[in-house]
């Protein structure tokens, strides 16, 4: 179009002004593309399932302080009482809670020996009710039997001889075929043997930021320890009603301990991802405000440049330019400036992302998102200039005859 | 003259109120966002013990697996084994030394009406209190003799003393802690270093402990330890085997008075490791470290990635807002070209015009700064609500930060105003007057 050349020549007379808007658009693009990218990254982490029936489960901490306390029989009594309660699906003692941030890990290896590579995995010490109580899905092999369960003393260094692993752990140990892990003997604590008797579909580790979060295993241990957790699954819809009942029941049945920190899995998830959630909300606010500021900046500058050119616009109208042509002129002008800004913005967005990848181990950005940034900023620019351009097109041809 | 320019600025701001509002809002938002994140970073990286942070050193020894070095060999392990920290304790080569670990337990109050209380505890040695300047309300710290004699003594936090004894002087009384009788020998005042530098491994911004007990009681199994335990070599069954094993779970601090002392202590550490090598331990090359408080906080990356990233983002945000302001000021001042031409023709010097327009920019900056200050208050409240416990106490504006906010806004806007003002002053009067 012939007009483009004209617009460029006009812009060159006020290079700095145009460059400022272009730079502003470029920086806005750099920030919002990366912010949206980080939001998406966190969203996808938060959407991962823990493998546990989160809606119907809760847990509490049992701290024993009484003297001459029979830990073994007290635990059996608790579990029997809980499992018989109407509304309770199942209950177990467990050493750590998925997503909670605190737990145990250990290294598992396919070859024995100090100098062999091992794979880190979360360890859950549970009994044969675990699959039911946690709500896991056994996809290969079998569950523990009651006779597999051993008592584990505090500070004990030997392991039980059977384990159930997650599919992700099986795949890490046997990268060619996770199903081949079933029945295999692997090594823990460098040279103790353990046999994989079952594989569950999913059970996350307690640490959501860990890159091995999907790797965990169930070990058939009941802990003879003064501090442990009881994990309880209820019938759908009965959790909230049962929680205070169970807390009261346990606290009153035995005076040699404290029942505390009762918490649902839903709350645990919320706490676990609280920082993710918070960061996402802040980033969203940044994206929105930044877009608004840039938009208003464009409006402000466009109104000013139009006010300054009132007389010229009047002259053009008097010489036969239609309203639409005037509007088109300003929209085209904005398109050109935005275009330059967006090109710089693309470079900026990729550079910022490269820095984030280097400094904070973020993933590289995808092209779709950059494209999204390009299109949305073009739209924002056009929308922002719409009102000033409309106003410009309303300038009467008679203005040409008046002095400023 | 100044008041006259202020009046002119006021008139100009009011006349173009829409434009002025956009500029003030933009600066306010930019300053608000920047100040919110700067404050969080500032508090996270604050020096928790400024008067002696250069004299307190965290000790690291590389006792790790020769086949699989700790942290891929970049940093030595972040804690010490029981063997090493007790050996260093015995050696007593520093002015003060402290071995510590986190612990927990249950206090059973004598008053039968009170429920048992589950408390967090710090198991430490006598020097802890003097090294870290812990303030006492009642009584005193325990002595080295109590450590060596494995005496069951306890120092309470203000909070626990209030909970159990109603805040009165409880020194000399006893307390039942995990079925053992402890004698209370001191009560400390509210003490919450931020960051909680003395033990980063259990959370740099966690609350300080409820009670303090001698570290030597852990080996006696009178105290249950908690915190992080990391082992590279399996140890045998039982407490004795665990203590003798290659598990790291203790932290060791020393207080050294001078650079010479620091060098001497480093020489001592290296000699110690060389000696241990003879027993088949420390198979890795020498990799010991002494870090003072600020070095240690930096190494442990106490300032969260989230916070740093947000600060980078918000500074870019502020830049956008400033670009916006430059553009708008430019448009505004150039729009006044005829007026400027007229004033020049009537004898106004460039310097006069310059100060007039810089004052106008500064007024906008001041308004933006005040708005920004308000927004950063809101922003910090928001951050505290969103992040919960994690940001507790990290989201407060002190007077330094408040002044900084307003100054930042002023400086930024004046700088933003420089170019537009310069352009405005260089308008040729003849041309402007001709077109009138």
Best of B119, B313, B376 to substitute, by most chain A Cβ atoms within 10 angstroms, is: B313
Q: Which residues of B touch A28 (CB under 8 A)?
A: 320
pLDDT at position A2 over 70 = no
Q: What is the pLDDT of residues A284-322, one digit of tens each?
A: 988 998 999 899 888 888 887 888 788 888 898 889 889
A227·B234 Cβ contact <8 A: no
Is residue B398 very low, low, confident or very high in pLDDT (cuts 50, 70, 90)? confident
Q: How far is A327 from chain B (nearest CA, A)?
A: 20
Query: Which among A157-161, A166-170, B25-29, B195-199 has the top mean pLDDT?
Result: A166-170
Distance from CA of B14 to the nearest CA of A (A): 15
With an 8 Å Cβ cutoff, are A278 and B383 in contact? yes
Largest CA distance in chain B: 99
A225-270: pLDDT as tens digits: 888 899 999 999 999 999 999 999 998 888 888 888 899 999 999 9
Closest CA–CA distance from residue A207 to any residue of chain B (Å): 14
CB contact at 8 A, B249 and B103: no
Rounded (10°) angle between helices B259-277 and B82-91: 130
Model pTM? 0.80
Distance from CA of A193 to the nearest CA of B (A): 14
Question: A289 CB near a chain B CB, below 8 Å?
Answer: yes
User: What is the separation of C-alpha B53 from the centre of its chain, rounded to a whole number of angstroms?
Assistant: 13
The answer to whether the complex's ipTM is over 0.90 is no
Q: Which residues of A touch B236 (CB under 8 A)?
A: 157
B240 → chain A, closest CA residue: A155
Closest C-alpha to A307, from A395, A381, A383, A380: A395
Interface check B116 vs A, CB under 8 A? yes
Does B199 have pLDDT greater than 90? yes
- Please indicate if any CB of chain B lies within 8 Å of the CB of A298: no
Mean pLDDT of A41-59: 93
Asked, as a colleague might, if the bond just before B375 is cis with ω within 30 of 0, I would say: no
The pLDDT value recorded for residue A113 is: 83
- Average pLDDT of span A88-106: 91
The predicted-structure confidence for B100-157, as pLDDT tens digits, reads as follows 999 999 998 887 777 888 899 999 999 999 999 999 999 999 999 999 999 999 999 9
Give the pLDDT confidence score for residue B435 in this predicted structure: 58
Parallel, antiparallel or unpaired: strands A257-264 and A57-64:
antiparallel
A145 φ/ψ angles, rounded to the nearest 5 degrees: -100, 165
- Residue B116 has its nearest CB partner, among A65, A192, A404, at A65
Considering only the beta carbons, identify the residue of A27, A67, A279 that sits closest to B319: A27
Beta strands B174-177 and B180-188: pairing type? antiparallel
pLDDT reported for residue B269? 95
Per-residue CA distances from A170 to A164, A193, A247, A395 (Å): 10, 16, 37, 74
Length of chain A in terms of residues written: 404
Return the pLDDT at A154. Answer: 77
| CA A103 – CA A99 distance, rounded (Å) | 9
Would you call B241 an interface residue with chain A, using a CB distance cutoff of 8 Å?
A: yes
* For residues A135-157, average pLDDT: 91
- The size of the A-B interface in CB pairs under 8 A is 145
Nearest CB to A65: which of B179, B326, B383?
B179
Ordered DSSP codes for A109-127: ESS-STTS--EEEEEEEE-
Instruction: Calculate how close chain A gets to B22, using CA atoms only, in Å.
Output: 7
B240 to chain A, any CB pair closer than 8 A? The answer is no
Residues 115-134 of A with CB under 8 A from B: 115
Q: How far is A296 from chain B (nearest CA, A)?
A: 7
Q: Mean pLDDT across the stretch B315-333?
A: 88
- Which residues from chain A sit within 8 angstroms of residue B233, using beta carbons? 114, 190
State the average pLDDT over residues B246-258.
Answer: 94
Q: Does B306 touch chain A if contact means CB atoms closer than 8 Å?
A: yes
- Predicted confidence at residue B257, as pLDDT, reads 93
Summarize the confidence of residues B247-272 as an average pLDDT: 95
- DSSP 8-state class, residue B113: T
Query: Looking at residues A93-114, what average pLDDT do you find?
Result: 88
Residue A205 has pLDDT above 80, yes or no: yes
Candidates A66, A157, A282; nearest CB to B237 = A157
> Cα torsion for A47, A52, A57, A58, to the nearest 10°?
-80
Residues 6+ apart with CB under 8 A from B301: none
Classify residue B332 as left (phi > 0), alpha (psi -120 to 50) or beta.
Answer: alpha
Determine, for residues A31 and B320 on separate chains, whether the beta-carbon distance falls below 8 Å: yes
Are B223 and B121 within 8 A, CB to CB? yes
Region A189-206: mean pLDDT is 93
Best of A65, A159, A258 to substitute, by most chain B Cβ atoms within 10 angstroms, is A65
d(CA B258, CA B97): 15
Q: What is the pLDDT of residue B288?
A: 93
DSSP A242-277: HHHHHHHHHHHH-SSEEEEEEEEHHHHHHHHTHHHH
Q: With a CB-CB cutoff of 8 Å, which residues 350-389 of chain B face chain A?
A: 382-383, 386-388
Contact between residue B370 and residue A56 where contact means Cβ atoms under 8 Å apart: no
B39 touches chain A (CB under 8 A): no
pLDDT, one tens digit per residue, over A345-360 is: 999 999 999 988 888 7
Question: How close is the nearest chain A Cα to the Cα of B234, in Å?
Answer: 6
Query: In chain B, what residues touch A115 (CB-CB under 8 Å)?
Result: 67
The pLDDT of residue B115 is: 80
What letter would DSSP give residue B173?
Answer: -
Residue A117 CB neighbours (<10 A): 11
In this prediction, residue A172 carries a pLDDT of 95
For testing the chain A interface, which of B327, B395, B424 should be mutated: the one with the most A CBs within 10 Å?
Answer: B327
pLDDT digits (tens, 9 = 90+) for B28-52: 999 999 998 888 888 888 889 999 9
Q: Strand pairing partners for B118? A: B106
Chain A positions in Cβ-Cβ contact with residue B22 (cut-off 8 Å): 296-297, 299-300
Taking only the tens place, the pLDDT of each residue in B51-110 is 999 999 999 999 998 888 888 888 899 999 999 999 999 999 999 999 999 999 999 888
Contacts of B29 in chain A (CB under 8 A): 289, 293
Looking at mean pLDDT, say which of A38-42, A115-119, B209-213 comes out highest. B209-213
B419 and chain A: CB distance < 8 Å anywhere? yes
pLDDT score, position A1: 55
| C-alpha angle A328-A334-A336 in degrees, rounded to nearest 5 | 100
């Amino acid at each position: 179009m012939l007009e483009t050349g004209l617009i460029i020549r006009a812009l060159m007379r006020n290079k700095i002004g145009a460059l400022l808007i272009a730079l502003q658009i470029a920086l806005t693009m750099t920030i919002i593309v990366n912010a949206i990218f980080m939001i998406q990254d966190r969203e996808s982490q938060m959407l991962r399932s823990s493998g546990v029936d989160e809606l119907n489960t809760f847990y509490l901490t049992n701290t024993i302080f009484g003297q001459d306390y029979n830990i073994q029989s007290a635990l059996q009594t608790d579990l029997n009482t809980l499992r018989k309660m109407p509304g309770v699906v199942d209950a177990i003692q467990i050493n750590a809670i998925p997503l909670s941030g605190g737990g145990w890990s250990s290294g598992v290896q396919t070859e024995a020996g100090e100098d062999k590579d091992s794979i880190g995995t979360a360890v859950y010490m549970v009994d044969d009710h675990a699959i039911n109580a946690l709500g896991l899905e056994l996809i290969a092999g079998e569950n523990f039997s009651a006779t597999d369960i051993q008592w584990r003393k505090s500070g004990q260094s030997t392991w039980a001889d059977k384990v159930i692993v997650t599919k992700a752990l099986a795949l890490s140990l046997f990268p060619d075929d996770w199903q081949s892990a079933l029945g295999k003997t692997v090594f823990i604590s460098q040279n103790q043997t353990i046999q994989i008797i079952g594989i569950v579909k999913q059970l996350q580790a307690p640490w959501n930021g860990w890159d091995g979060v999907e790797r965990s295993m169930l070990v058939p241990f009941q802990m003879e320890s003064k501090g442990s957790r009881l994990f309880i699954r209820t019938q759908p819809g009965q959790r909230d009603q049962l929680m205070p009942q169970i807390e009261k029941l346990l606290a009153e049945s035995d005076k040699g301990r404290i029942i505390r920190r009762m918490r649902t899995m839903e709350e645990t998830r919320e706490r676990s991802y609280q920082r993710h959630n918070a960061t996402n909300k802040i980033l969203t606010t940044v994206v929105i405000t930044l877009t608004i500021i840039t938009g208003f900046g464009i409006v402000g500058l466009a109104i000013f440049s139009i006010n300054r050119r009132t007389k010229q616009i009047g002259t053009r109208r008097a010489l036969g330019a239609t309203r639409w042509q005037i509007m088109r002129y300003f929209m085209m002008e904005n398109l050109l400036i935005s275009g330059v800004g967006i090109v710089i913005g693309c470079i900026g967005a990729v550079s910022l992302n490269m820095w984030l990848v280097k400094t904070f181990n973020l993933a590289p950005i995808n092209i779709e998102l950059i494209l999204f940034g390009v299109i949305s900023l073009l739209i924002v620019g056009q929308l922002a200039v719409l009102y000033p351009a409309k106003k410009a097109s309303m300038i009467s041809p008679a203005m040409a005859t008046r002095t400023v | 003259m100044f008041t006259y320019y202020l009046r002119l600025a006021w008139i100009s701001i009011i006349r173009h109120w829409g434009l002025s509002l956009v500029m003030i809002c933009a600066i306010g938002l930019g300053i608000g966002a920047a100040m919110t994140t700067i404050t969080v970073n500032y508090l996270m990286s604050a020096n928790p013990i400024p008067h002696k942070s250069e004299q307190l050193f965290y000790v690291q020894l590389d006792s790790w697996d020769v086949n699989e070095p700790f942290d891929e060999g970049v940093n030595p392990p972040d804690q010490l084994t029981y063997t090493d920290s007790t050996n260093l304790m015995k050696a007593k080569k520093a002015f003060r030394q402290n071995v510590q670990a986190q612990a927990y337990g249950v206090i059973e109050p004598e008053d039968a009406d009170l429920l048992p209380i589950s408390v967090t505890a710090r198991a430490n040695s006598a020097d802890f209190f003097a090294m870290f300047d812990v303030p006492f309300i009642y009584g005193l710290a325990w002595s080295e003799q109590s450590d060596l004699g494995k005496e069951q003594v306890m120092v309470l936090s203000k909070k626990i003393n209030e909970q159990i004894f109603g805040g009165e002087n409880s020194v000399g009384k006893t307390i039942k802690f995990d079925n053992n009788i402890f004698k209370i020998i001191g009560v400390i005042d509210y003490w919450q270093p931020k960051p909680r530098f003395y033990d980063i491994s259990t959370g740099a911004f966690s609350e300080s402990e409820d009670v303090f007990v001698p570290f030597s009681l852990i080996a006696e199994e009178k105290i249950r330890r908690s915190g992080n335990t990391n082992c590279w070599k399996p140890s045998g069954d039982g407490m004795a085997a665990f203590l003798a094993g290659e598990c790291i779970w203790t932290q060791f601090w020393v207080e050294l008075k001078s650079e010479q002392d620091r060098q001497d202590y480093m020489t001592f550490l290296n000699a110690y490791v060389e000696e241990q090598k003879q027993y088949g331990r420390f198979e890795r090359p020498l990799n010991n470290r002494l870090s003072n408080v600020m070095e240690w906080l930096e190494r442990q990356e106490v300032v969260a990635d989230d916070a740093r990233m947000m600060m980078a983002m918000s500074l870019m945000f502020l830049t956008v807002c400033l670009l916006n302001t430059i553009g708008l000021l430019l448009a505004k001042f150039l729009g006044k070209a005829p007026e400027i031409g007229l004033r020049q023709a009537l004898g106004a010097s460039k310097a006069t015009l310059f100060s007039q327009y810089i004052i106008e920019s500064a007024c906008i900056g001041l308004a933006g700064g005040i708005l920004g200050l308000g927004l950063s208050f809101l922003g910090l409240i928001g951050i505290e609500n969103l992040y919960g416990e994690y940001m507790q106490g990290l989201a407060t504006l002190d007077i330094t930060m408040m002044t900084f906010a307003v100054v930042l806004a002023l400086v930024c806007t004046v700088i933003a105003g420089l170019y537009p003002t310069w352009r405005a002053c260089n308008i040729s009067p003849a041309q402007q007057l001709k077109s009138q």
